[in-house]
Amino acid sequence: MRTHKTLDLDPGRAVTVRELRVRDVRQILAALTPEQAKRPLPELIREHLPDLLALLGDSLTLPDGEVLDDLSLSECETLGRAWWELHQRFFAPLLALARAHGTPPATSTAPVSSSSNAAMAPSTTTAGVSG
């Protein structure tokens, strides 16, 4: 059974977000480059939210007669938060692992050594969507 969350956008406008399948996760992981994995998660989600929602396929049930383009940005953000709640246990460790084995973003001016990067604990500020 796939885990799901049902959200009421307005009275009579319910949306259901279902847990991804293995094929969906493979598609997301194939699109995540090492450079993107170094960026803060909330930034990635904001930038790629329409793509992530489109990947959901039958994992997203919208109100009758509505398509993704009918939703407001705040409704998409609400769906993104529900999606993250369902999937953070899987994706957060993967992003932390990718960051631990990469180099810091180009905006950093701090000197870098491979040993200090691997020993650094992942930041908890990027483990979910910011509010």
Count Cα atoms within 13 angstroms, Cβ side, for 66.
17
Neighbour count for residue 127 (Cβ, 10 Å): 16
pLDDT value of residue 36: 78
Q: What is the pTM of this model?
A: 0.56
Q: How far apart are CA 20 and CA 15, in angstroms?
A: 15
Residue indicated by tokens 């007669």:
65
pLDDT value of residue 101: 67
pLDDT value of residue 53: 66
Domain ranges of the chain: 4-101
pLDDT in tens, 54-88: 676 678 899 999 988 899 999 989 988 998 898 88
Per the structure block, which two tokens stand in for 116?
């200090």
**Strand 60-61 and strand 13-18: pairing?**
antiparallel
Q: How far apart are CA 30 and CA 33, in angstroms?
A: 8
